[in-house]
Chains A and B, each alone.
Chain A
Amino acid sequence: MEQEDSSPILSLLTDDLLLRVLNNLPGESDRKTFRSVCKTFLRLDSIHRTSLRILRTEFLPTLLRRYQRIESLDLSVCPRIDDGTVAILMGGVSFGWSQSLRTLILSRSSGLRSGGLERLIRVCPNLEIIDVSYSCDFGDREVAALSFSSSLKDLKMDKCLAVTDVGLAKIAVGCSNLERFSLKWCFKITDLGIDLLTKKCFKLKYLDISYLKVTNHSLMSIASLQRLEVLAMVASNFVDDEGLHHLGNGCPSLQILDLSRCDKISTFGLSSVMRGHHGLLQIYAAYSFFEFSTSILNQVKNMRNLKTIRIDGARINEASFEILATNCKSLVEVGLSKCKGVTDSGLRLLAEACSSLRHVNLTCCNSITDLSIISISQFCKGLLILQLEACILISYTSLRCLGVCSSQLKELDLTDCSGVNDTGLRFLSGCSQLACLKLGLCTNISDEGLSYIASKCRHIHELDLYRCTGIGDGGLAAISTGCKKMKKLNISYCYEVTDEGIKWLGYLEELSDLELRNLVKVTGSGLAAIASGCKKLSDLDLKSCINIQDSGFWALAYYRVNLRQINLSHCGISDAGLCMVLGNLTRLQDAKLVNLRNVTVQGYELSLRACCARLKKVKLLANLSFQLSHELQDTLRIRGCRIRWD
């Protein structure tokens, strides 16, 4: 072909060499550019792509015909999946895509019913991972459809509220190869269901029964699972020490245990589990105990391999730190959020002994000073995540040490640390690998400090400046120039910000989550700049931005068609503006529309009707429940949209 004569890359490189090059282009935007270049590249992209996350149902048939080798299909952000969508999928000529499919993500698809689900499952013989979490209307019949997938290894059914023991039994019998199973919040499940599950699915390695109303009998059944490695039972408030005692005598392979927020258990219960499992790697016990007591400490002495321990909310003393330091030198994560008794000397002991520490949570440990941070930073060379919310005694000295000794730090939470100022931020900019920085409520920082961070920390993708009243347009200009990878930004209540600053944000092409609450100096032109510039914007919070005129909302409706969540409460949008926004934003799933003072009841009726097929959640002022027609409210409910009344 003449094409290949003139272009050396196409004439010299064979398909497999070009695929090698494509392997080295992991970014989505680069892949999309690649496939748009020429037919050869388009064909190679079709062979290469293995996972697909579809945004709109109308593209489903084309995309599935083009990508025959996908292994993972994610339909969770598609506006509305129902049996009709499945019929479209089945209507395609070739089922190549269904043979290689291993992973199917259908979370939040309340529209799917057992018929459609069964057809889909039967067509994909090699499915190993299915996620149907948060599909709140899913009941036993839908879950029975899932049980036809005998190769299933990983099932997530969180918050499928209507599922009972009957449905669970079908899964237990049909999917005996199950290795990972999550049923958080499935409140109707009882001990009977769990018992059958443990008898039939003995290959289970990961089980999440958090928030269920099951009792000690379930733990007795679970104890028989020989291969179970991870057990999560957050907020299991019907379980007490007797159940934990059963667990202590069983589950020989247990490595990770999460019993956070369990009201009825005590430290004796946990210590009986620890007595039987000296090889435990991770213990999550946040807010379950008042004290990190001697019974637990005695067991800790035997746990040489412990990597993670979270005891948020418990009281701890110096002796505990000594015991941890002497015995658990492999610790990688320590969670001491809201713990009383955390001191500088205790933390120094821990840091000195556990140099592999990567994640330290000291939220609300308000008696620690710069000395703790200096110890941790100097001894723990691999420190990646440090949470210091409300540690008011921290000053720029700590930040100087972090900037020099912990330059690989990725996440830092300094919310409500009033000791943080511009000097501190200048020192902190030495941590050039920072990806997530939280500076909410730090009122002593200004644009100057922020510009140091923006110029050196180029990898930041999450920045929280909630109520940082010292930040203004200059700071936003700095962020926009320096932090090109920014994805999540919160500048709520930064009152000094005006349209000038907001326009700078329009240059952040990766921005997907933006919170701008109560920025009274921002008007329509500012919003229009964001709307046209931030191409990946999917979540926008404009609550109480009372001075944004309709021109801004019209721009939003025109440009940002892929917007998924929006909060317009207390804004000055008009009837026409609201109609445009809800009508044009065809991917909108969640809208908060409380107290729109310029919108009439008529306006609400029309706008909500325009989007009732796609909306999944909407929040409205309570008295609208009397004013909106019953017909509209019923339609919304039937279409799977939840209305929350404020």
Chain B
Amino acid sequence: MSSKKMITLKSSDGRIFEVEEAVAQESQTIKHMIEDGYGNSVIPLPNVTGRILYKIIEFCTKHVAVEEDIKQKSVEPTVVVEDVKQKSVEPTVVEDVKQKSVELPVDDDAWDAEPSDIDEWDAQFIDVDESTMFELIVASNYLNIKRLMDLSAQAIADMMKDKTVEEIRKIFNIQNDFTPEEEMKIRNENSWAYE
């Protein structure tokens, strides 16, 4: 393949990063800047620190690589049939399955090269301390990277799931700014008022 165009990004603390154009374009913000003609000079990102930018580039690089993998493998449908062959007990079933492999309700991900692998990678990627997670969601919002925004929002929500009020306040270091009467009122509403 011909040499890919490289884009230069500069973080808020002056660090320079060179990335392939495809990776940089995972961010809609950077993509628009390139389309507007700024692709040849250094693109400054004053809202993103070097540490976070490094992680974001790692995320985008991985996802671009995975997508290219899928594109290559989608030309060879035999991968799907082999997987299903192992699962079914009767050999005659394979005939039907070949025709209907796109309709099986359970195996929607069969076209993905490594469906569970990328989810696992994502889970490990987002397994960071809270302040990094918050910086990631803010940066991915600024850079408009939908997949990373969704991933970090889900991760923060997971930290809140099935916890009590006190636990959430402790984890996120939030002060209780309700007066005792207000708090009582809210508790009443929660228990008796509505579903």
Contacts and interface: CB of A to CB of B under 8 A. Distances in A.
Interface of A: 3, 6-10, 12-14, 17, 20-25, 27-30, 32-39, 42, 52-56, 59, 62-63, 77, 352, 355-356, 358, 378-379, 381-382, 405, 408, 561-562
A210 B36 CA distance: 62
Given A21-B156, A30-B160, A55 B131 contact: no
B194 A59 contact: yes
Contacts of B12: none
Q: Pick from B89, B138, B168, B174 the residue with the most CB of A within 10 Å.
A: B174
Contacts of A17: 137-138, 141, 153
B174 A9 contact: yes
B110 to A, nearest CB: 11
A279 to B, nearest CB: 19
Q: Pick from A35, A355, A561 the residue with the most CB of B within 10 Å.
A: A355
Contacts of A10: 172, 174
Given A17-B137, A36-B187, A356-B105, A53 B174 contact: no
Nearest to A377: B89
A326 to B, nearest CB: 13
Nearest to A379: B93
User: Interface of chain A, helix or strand or loop or mixed?
Assistant: helix
Contacts of B97: 355
Given A7-B174, A55-B195, A63-B193, A12 B138 contact: yes
Given A8-B172, A24-B154, A62-B189, A13 B106 contact: no
B40 interface: no
Q: Pick from A23, A37, A63 the residue with the most CB of B within 10 Å.
A: A37
A42 B186 CA distance: 9
Contact of B165 (A6, A36, A378, A381): A36
Given A20-B153, A42-B186, A378-B88, A3 B177 contact: yes
B103 interface: yes
B90 A355 contact: no
Given A23-B153, A37-B168, A379-B93, A355 B193 contact: no
Given A20-B149, A30-B160, A62-B189, A7 B195 contact: no
Among all A-B residue pairs, the 3 with the closest Cβ atoms: A24-B157, A59-B193, A382-B105
Interface in B3-41: none
Interface in B132-190: 134-135, 137-138, 141, 149, 153-154, 156-158, 160-165, 168-169, 172-178, 183, 186-187, 189-190
B160 A8 contact: no
Contact of B172 (A7, A32, A54): A7
A37 B160 CA distance: 11
A329 B87 CA distance: 22
Contact of A38 (B89, B107, B160, B178): B178
A9 B138 CA distance: 10
B190 A382 contact: no
A562 B193 CA distance: 10
Interface string B72-105: 0000000000000001111001001100100111
A33 B192 contact: no
25 contacts: A6-B173, A8-B130, A8-B173, A9-B130, A10-B172, A13-B134, A17-B137, A21-B153, A28-B195, A32-B190, A33-B163, A36-B183, A36-B186, A36-B187, A38-B169, A38-B177, A39-B177, A55-B195, A356-B100, A356-B105, A378-B90, A378-B93, A379-B93, A381-B105, A381-B107
A9 B149 contact: no
Nearest to A77: B195
Contacts of A358: 105
Contacts of A36: 165, 183, 186-187, 190
A295 B132 CA distance: 69
Contacts of B169: 37-38
A25 B177 contact: no
How extensive is the interface on chain B, given as a class? Answer: 35 or more
A382 B101 CA distance: 12
Contacts of B164: 33
Interface of B: 87-90, 93, 96-97, 100, 103-107, 130-131, 134-135, 137-138, 141, 149, 153-154, 156-158, 160-165, 168-169, 172-178, 183, 186-187, 189-190, 192-195
Nearest to B135: A12
Contacts of B192: 55-56, 59, 561-562
Given A38-B174, A53-B194, A8 B161 contact: no
A146 B103 CA distance: 44
A33 B160 contact: yes
Contact of B157 (A12, A25, A54, A405): A25
Contacts of B183: 36
A6 B103 contact: no
Contacts of B130: 8-9
A22 B161 CA distance: 11
Given A21-B157, A382-B104, A562-B192, 9 more contacts: A12-B135, A24-B157, A32-B190, A34-B160, A37-B165, A38-B178, A53-B194, A355-B104, A381-B106
A12 B173 CA distance: 13
Q: Pick from A23, A24, A36, A53 the residue with the most CB of B within 10 Å.
A: A36
A34 B134 CA distance: 17
A363 to B, nearest CB: 24
B79 to A, nearest CB: 18
Contacts of B177: 3, 38-39
A77 B195 CA distance: 10
A50 to B, nearest CB: 13
Contacts of A62: 189, 193
Q: Pick from A17, A52, A378, A562 the residue with the most CB of B within 10 Å.
A: A17
B163 to A, nearest CB: 7
B153 to A, nearest CB: 4
Contacts of A408: 106
A400 to B, nearest CB: 12
B180 to A, nearest CB: 13
Contacts of A27: 161
A378 B97 CA distance: 12
A63 B141 contact: no
B93 A25 contact: no
B89 A405 contact: yes
B171 to A, nearest CB: 9
Given A25-B161, A28-B195, A63-B193, A355 B176 contact: no
Contacts of B194: 52-55, 59, 63
A570 B195 CA distance: 33
Contacts of A8: 130-131, 134, 172-173
Contacts of A28: 195
A610 to B, nearest CB: 19
Given A25-B157, A53-B194, A63-B193, A356 B103 contact: yes
A34 B190 CA distance: 11
Contacts of A25: 157, 160-161
Contacts of B187: 36
Contacts of B172: 7-10
Contacts of A59: 189, 192-194
A645 to B, nearest CB: 33
Contacts of B189: 59, 62-63
